[in-house]
């Protein structure tokens, strides 16, 4: 079983230099927030992740890949050029 501290460490290492904030809600779901540590600008927030599905390193690796995809797909990350 992976602890929240281990989960956070794995996510933080994967998205450095972005900062990571992982929190658990009352219904035992995980929220992950990725942001710039200096400016505080938030790049991605994902809520409602089922903690029971994040018990192995493989499942955490799959989550990290999904978060990378979402981060890359985020339109705020790649703004349209000004014309």
Q: Is residue 80 part of a domain?
A: no
Say whether pLDDT at 12 is over 70.
yes
Q: Is 11 helix (H, G, I), strand (E, B) or coil?
A: helix
Q: Please count the structural domains in the chain.
A: 1
Say whether pLDDT at 5 is over 90.
no
Q: Is residue 77 part of a domain?
A: no
Say whether pLDDT at 46 is over 50.
yes
Phi, psi of 35 (to 5 degrees): -150, 165
Q: Is residue 81 part of a domain?
A: no
Residue 33: predicted pLDDT: 94
pLDDT digit string (tens) for 58-83?
999 999 999 999 998 875 555 544 44
Per the document, the length of the chain is 83
Residue 26: predicted pLDDT: 82
Question: Which domain covers residue 35, as residue numbers?
Answer: 4-72
Calculate the average pLDDT of the chain. Answer: 86
Number of H helices, E strands in the chain: 2, 3
Residue 50 tokens, joined: 């089922």
Q: Is residue 33 part of a domain?
A: yes
């Amino acid at each position: 079983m992976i602890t929240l501290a281990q989960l956070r460490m794995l996510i933080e290492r994967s998205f450095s230099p972005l900062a990571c904030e992982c929190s658990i809600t009352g219904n035992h779901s995980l929220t992950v927030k990725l942001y710039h540590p200096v400016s505080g600008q938030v790049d991605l927030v994902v809520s409602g992740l089922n903690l029971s599905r994040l018990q192995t390193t493989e499942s955490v690796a799959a989550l990290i890949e999904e978060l990378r995809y979402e981060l890359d797909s985020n339109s705020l990350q790649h703004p349209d050029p000004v014309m």
